[in-house]
Amino acid sequence: MEIASVGNLNFDVYLRVSELPGPDENAEVLDLYTGGGGSAANFAVAAARLGLAPRFIGAVGEDPLGEISLRELREEGVDVTYVKRIAGVRSGLVVVLVHPDGVKRMLSYRGANLGLAPGDLTPEKFRGVRHIHLATGRTELILKAKEVAREVGASLSVDGGTALAKKGLDIVRPAVEGVDVLFMNQAEARLLAGSHDHRTAVEKLARELRVGELVVTLGARGAAAYGGGKLLHVDAFRVDAVDTTGAGDCFAAAYIAMHLRGRDPYEKLLFANAAAAIKVTRPGARSSPRYAEVEAFLASLGYKI
């Protein structure tokens, strides 16, 4: 099944720390590792490992980091034919501070990622694609992708992150109207809905946003989905978290993999929760599991997908 993922591609530098330094203070780094990142690119890699055939649409600079990032995607089976190369601009870079409990803090340099424009999303680049995923808060890209999806007959999902949630309902509502699946985490849902309670936020957004399915990840509490007038919640699996970076991208890819297989809402949430649970036990944004691993994990707990 061919799909496309649109958004950022970064080179990630991970620093595992025991504490965060205060002003003019120094903190020891316990471990350092590097790897590919960017939500859309992470989604593409996770999708490839789950048996889909992804192509990535984004932008990088003509620099060594861009070359490394593209090579990593190719090695994972991601089609990078339509990645835009921009001269004179550095590729995206993210420094990730990882606390021993797996919680992360990030410093992001967008760089060449900002060079991806609506005009770059042409129907020709999406021919043969069954589903388009946008991991971006840029409404101009979302609106353009909606046009392209209609033209090529593809379904569409959006994971806009905090950048989209900060824009407010008046801007987000028309941008995501008609989207098949809208992803966000509980903090983004509360921010967008103006509520301190995630359940109240989900219910408000379900009324306000005209999307096929609203899916909200709840961290250690699992995930919830609202669609067809019904709210469904599925608990998370208990695991020892090592690194939560990329867990949301892994969850989204797993959910869409099951969505394209025509599974029911419970199966989609269960499978996505399981994939994310496996991912957080491993370091790096791209440490998502393969389909057989998720099946085996669920089978070990008495679930059959």
> Active-site residue numbers?
249
* 28, 104, 125, 282 from 18: Cα distances, Å: 7, 12, 45, 18
Encoded amino acid at 275, one letter = A
Strands 29-37, 10-17: parallel, antiparallel or unpaired by DSSP? antiparallel
Task: Tell me the one-letter amino acid at 191.
Answer: L
In angstroms, the CA 171 to CA 255 distance is 26
CA trace torsion 292, 134, 119, 75 (10° rounding): -30
Phi-psi region at 228: left, alpha or beta (left = phi > 0; alpha = psi -120 to 50): left
Bridge partners, residue 7, by sequence? 135
Closest CA to 33 of 293, 252, 274, 242: 242
Q: Name the CA radius of gyration of the chain, rounded.
A: 18
CA 220 → CA 71, 81, 118, 183, distances in Å?
A: 34, 37, 36, 17
The two tokens of residue 90 are: 């550095």
Q: Are 191 and 215 in contact (CB under 8 A)?
A: no
